[in-house]
Chains A and B, each alone.
Chain A
């Protein structure tokens, strides 16, 4: 059978880490610190990780889900 994303366990482990670090639990609670263009630093990190998430999922879709052209009508 042609490979599907489910066949690559380590990629999923990677995704779990991306999701884990997309949530700002590692910043000291309550602190505001720097605000740049309306977002505090912790929010910029969350935004960055959201982009990483989308890019990672796009990668999984396009590179790991192989479609056999002959199978398609």
Chain B
């Protein structure tokens, strides 16, 4: 759809360049202050386990909310209507998911010096099979997630600048910058750039919703329009949508906490109080992030009625363009929004990339290939592999699949199969490695096969949930079938004592 976009061109490029320079600046400053970070995996991948409240909160926040939150969720609200309010509670319930295991896992991670999520699984189950398969699942999930972020950078930038900055160039530019500051400063670079990026994200969302209301009127007038012309989008949701709502609560509530880069952030907290307070604040953020984006999408129904599914994906670009045309003030507000969207994407991608590298360093190289290698060597291997992986994913991103929401769902299905191993494994001594491994494999297989044969849902519930259900049954029943001696119990007691 060719539109005369009011903003873009050199202003868009200027913002991108300034923004890129800021990120590099932070990365370099962090590097200068922490030169020893390159000798220690704990220092490089976990910021020395010393992130304070402000930084921890913002890195949790900026990592959790990706570009999809703005670019993908507004179109979803546009297509689905008011039922998409579900995107607020399903982001809130993630904190419930964390509460199930974060307190205990944090204590154990400090005691046993975990670097990656797999370190806990290795410690708890002492099983090569569990370790290998879990690592594979996580690498796949994280890789997929990084890919989604790269796709979003390209689409977001190209869409918002009306193609002035081509898709490919946008992706390459930011990936290169990410790789540089990530390489320089590890977790500290990532966390401090997240601080800046998180603030930009919040400002961007605020400007978008204010601009939309001032341009097209607030929610009440949008509601009148929707009631008159598309009443199914404002009526009580259908049974299918209710099932989707429940599915998302379960899938995201458990799945989002299983993101390796989210689990790693538990390890980075300075102390328990810092972790508690950060999570507490996260519980309220959805109202001013997904909640506001949801409202923007609804206003969009009135602002740009009748868009087909493919075009609706460009909704944020269209609306930003409409808002920018009002006055110079709004124009610059939308330029800042633009920065906020890119910030959201980059802040998520850099975290995922760093975790990916840590898993290569620790779980693959350090575990199976060269356990006696020095920390420095393992770090180099992780960093270099990260660069290669980024290049491969970048090439994949140049041929982006479907609509963004579909990519989002695919990762959860697979990562959620780790939940029993972590959540049940932390507390139930009897949970045994054999059933855990079989459960993970079966769960992932169900989710994979169902999704790839085009049966994303069964009886209205996502494949990942069916996989998880069977996974849990296998874990529990299987563990009861396995002999559990007093000696075994004592051993696990020891492993799990915080």
Binding site for B on A (CB under 8 A): 1, 4-6, 15, 19, 22-25, 27-32, 35, 37-40, 42-43, 46-47, 49-50, 53-54, 57-58, 60-62, 65, 67, 71-73
Contact = CB atoms under 8 A, between A and B. Distances in A.
Given A29-B238, A32-B235, A38-B223, 20 more contacts: A5-B100, A6-B99, A6-B100, A6-B103, A19-B89, A25-B242, A27-B236, A29-B237, A37-B219, A39-B223, A40-B236, A50-B88, A50-B92, A50-B287, A53-B89, A53-B92, A53-B96, A57-B280, A62-B280, A67-B276
Interface on chain B toward A: helix, strand, loop, or mixed SS?
A: helix
B232 to A, nearest CB: 8
Nearest 6 CB-CB pairs, A to B? Answer: A38-B219, A38-B220, A38-B223, A27-B236, A4-B103, A72-B271
Given A15-B96, A61-B99, A46 B89 contact: yes
Contacts of B85: 43, 46-47, 50
Contacts of B332: none
A64 to B, nearest CB: 8
B246 interface: yes
B280 A58 contact: yes
Contacts of B227: 32, 35
B424 to A, nearest CB: 11
Given A40-B82, A65-B276, A30 B238 contact: yes
Interface of B: 82, 85-86, 88-89, 92-93, 95-96, 99-101, 103-104, 218-224, 227, 231-232, 234-239, 242, 245-246, 249, 270-273, 276, 279-280, 283-284, 286-287, 427, 498
B283 A58 contact: yes
A30 B427 contact: no
Contact of B283 (A31, A39, A57): A57
Contacts of B498: 1
Contacts of B249: 19, 22-23
A50 B245 CA distance: 13
Contact of A40 (B101, B103, B235, B270): B235
Given A5-B103, A40-B82, A43-B85, A23 B236 contact: no
Contacts of A65: 99, 103, 272, 276
B301 to A, nearest CB: 12
9 contacts: A6-B99, A30-B235, A32-B236, A39-B82, A46-B86, A54-B283, A57-B92, A61-B276, A73-B270
B196 to A, nearest CB: 26
B109 to A, nearest CB: 14
A49 B276 CA distance: 22
Nearest to B221: A38
Contacts of A24: 236-237, 242
Most buried by B among A27, A49, A50, A62: A50
B344 to A, nearest CB: 21
Given A24-B242, A29-B236, A29-B238, A61 B89 contact: no
Contacts of A43: 82, 85
A58 B236 CA distance: 29
Nearest to A35: B223
B99 A60 contact: yes
A22 B427 CA distance: 28
B223 A4 contact: no
Contacts of B101: 6
A42 B236 contact: yes
A27 B222 CA distance: 22
A29 B82 contact: no
Contacts of A54: 92, 283-284, 286-287
Nearest to A16: B96
Given A32-B227, A46-B85, A73-B271, A57 B276 contact: no
A1 B220 CA distance: 52
A55 B305 CA distance: 37
Nearest to A41: B236
Most buried by B among A22, A50, A61, A67: A61
Contacts of A49: 89
Contact of B236 (A28, A61, A67): A28
A61 B82 contact: no
A40 B234 contact: yes
A50 B242 CA distance: 16
Contacts of B239: 29
A4 to B, nearest CB: 4
Contacts of B283: 54, 57-58, 61
